[in-house]
Amino acid sequence: MVIGMEMTPPRKMLYPPEKIYMEWRQKRRPGAGLYNLGSTCYLNVILQCLTYTAPLANYLLSRQHSRFCRRQGFCMMCIMEAHVRKVLYSSATAIRPRAVIRDLKFIGEFKPDIPGDAYEFLRCTVNAMQRACLSGSSDSDVSSRETTIIHQIFGGFLRSRVTCLSCKTVSDFFRAFRDVLLKIKGASSLTTALEDFVAPKQTDGRKCFKCRKCKKKVAVSKVVTIHQAPRILTVCLGRADDRTSRKLSQVVEYPECLDLRPYMSDPNGEPLLYSLYAVVVHTGHTCLEGHFLCYTKASDGQWYKMNDVSVDSCGIHTVLGQQAYLLFYARRSNSQREETASSSFHSFLSQRQPSSQAGPARAQALPGRMRVTRSRRNSVRERERQRERDRSRSPRWGNERHRYFMNTTSYNSSAGRRRKRMSPPDHDNTHRDATAPGPSNRSFQPAPAHRAAWEQPLPREQSRAEQSKPSQQGCNLCRQLVKLSDYHHSESKRRKLSSGAYKQKSQAHN
């Protein structure tokens, strides 16, 4: 016998599922990188992964939220909309996520100068976007709250089937989820970790569940499966040991194409295929220190390694060989499958128990987090500074720096002509953070008005013939000097003559 809880379908659909586009509506080259403003590498990787989440980016680029948003003050959807447009439309090589840094306290318990965990920031950011979509709809029922654009992109439903070991009564419980945390201790691949996730688990004689038929607490067997699959599947490979808090650096293989059907409540249906589009990697020997970087698949279909300000192309073999921490999979688009999923969504809501895990995610509830403690803050900062210094010594950057100084201070020895002062290709200009519609060509832009004073070209210098020709003013000055010299010469001669005549008269008189 199966016992379940019934629930009325949603009274209002906050966002129609047929307007969610899984494929990119506009294809362009990758956008800008992100500056590390202190210890914000964990923040940069999540912002980049969300920026290249196709259904979310399509919605944000259309400005559907900001045109009708009436929320006063902090709104995570408006911030993400501005950030995504800034990254994808800016022609700068890197920008500063100032708006996100400014409102960190509203997103979660984060500070710019304290390192954080990427998984923790992801959960808090998605929850903040969900709350922004519910603004003005606080009086809606629970089922309606799970029809927002955010929940329909990242959200799904898990089914927990509990079997009483005494009377064999089966009870089903459903709850919403927006990410899956997997234990990888002893697992060699993602499929192995998923099989362990859906495997039956017994309470080993502990009476912690109250059976409705037995009317007392009994030992049970529990099986958790994915009942409603999300459009975007986010998986966290918990690399922090629950007992020792040490980092599990073992190799966990993950495929580019994942079939989620074997882990569903109905494993006998058609294959449910997902494609990998983003990977977050944590480097470091322990969970208390290290650095976050990510690999994302842009709208042009190419993979790129994004390490703060640097954005470099790479291959799929490089992506699949990483020590992954977060995996982002997108469900493959199929018009018939999408219609079937949207129609079954309403019928499913009328049969499940009203249980949801929406709400802010606190740090204490995340066993897989890799947050750095305050005692190691200085060492982490010093490593980041050393990493920036090492990066600045690379041959490529050195050549650009050499060309920059040569263009700035070189002179033409023959004509004595100074070249125009230029900025290096990787030079940061504050004005380049401004968003300008159009494709990203990642090229240097002209200087702003406040810097035009020292970047103006020098006046056109005269030719060699003009330089050899004396000016009219110089000729007049020379004539005056010649007249003055002649006057002094004649005056001196007159004095000598007069002096000689005076001596002759004196001698004659004597």
Beta-carbon contacts of 210 under 8 Å, excluding residues fewer than 6 positions away, are: 216, 217, 218
* Mean pLDDT computed over 93-117: 92
Q: Which of 37, 50, 43 shows the shortest CA–CA distance to 371?
A: 43
DSSP letters of 470-489? PPHHHHHHHHHHHHHHHHHH
Q: What is the pLDDT of residue 255?
A: 97
**CA gap 291, 383 in Å, rounded:** 9
Q: What is the pLDDT of residue 139?
A: 56
Describe the chain by its helix, strand, coil percentages, rounded to 5.
40, 20, 45
Q: What is the pLDDT of residue 34?
A: 97
Q: Is the pLDDT of residue 136 over 90?
A: no
Lowest-pLDDT range, 63-67, 139-143, 170-174, 324-328?
A: 139-143
Q: Between 204 and 351, whose confidence is greater?
A: 204
* Mean pLDDT computed over 141-152: 86
SS3 175: strand
Q: What whole-number percentage of the chain has pLDDT above 90? A: 45
Across the strands, what pairs with 170? 2, 163
Lowest-pLDDT range, 53-57, 320-324, 344-348, 383-387?
A: 344-348
pTM of the predicted model as reported, rounded to 2 decimal places: 0.67
Q: Is the pLDDT of residue 481 over 80?
A: no
Q: What is the pLDDT of residue 378?
A: 62
**Max avg pLDDT among 123-137, 328-342, 482-496:** 123-137
Burial (CB count within 10 angstroms: exposed 0-12, middle 13-18, buried 19+), residue 142:
middle
What spatial distance separates the first Cα and last Cα of the chain, rounded to whole Å? 162
**CA gap 152, 510 in Å, rounded:** 133
User: Catalytic site residue 291?
Assistant: yes
Across the strands, what pairs with 281? 293, 324
Q: One of 164, 291, 317, 489 is an active-site residue; which one?
A: 291
Lowest-pLDDT range, 265-274, 460-469, 491-500?
A: 460-469
Across the strands, what pairs with 159? 174, 225
Residue 414's pLDDT band (boundaries 50, 70, 90)?
Answer: very low
The vertex-170 CA angle with 166 and 173, nearest 5°, equals 130
CATH topology for 2-334+342-376 is Cathepsin B; Chain A (3.90.70)
Q: Which of 206, 98, 156 shows the shortest CA–CA distance to 341?
A: 156
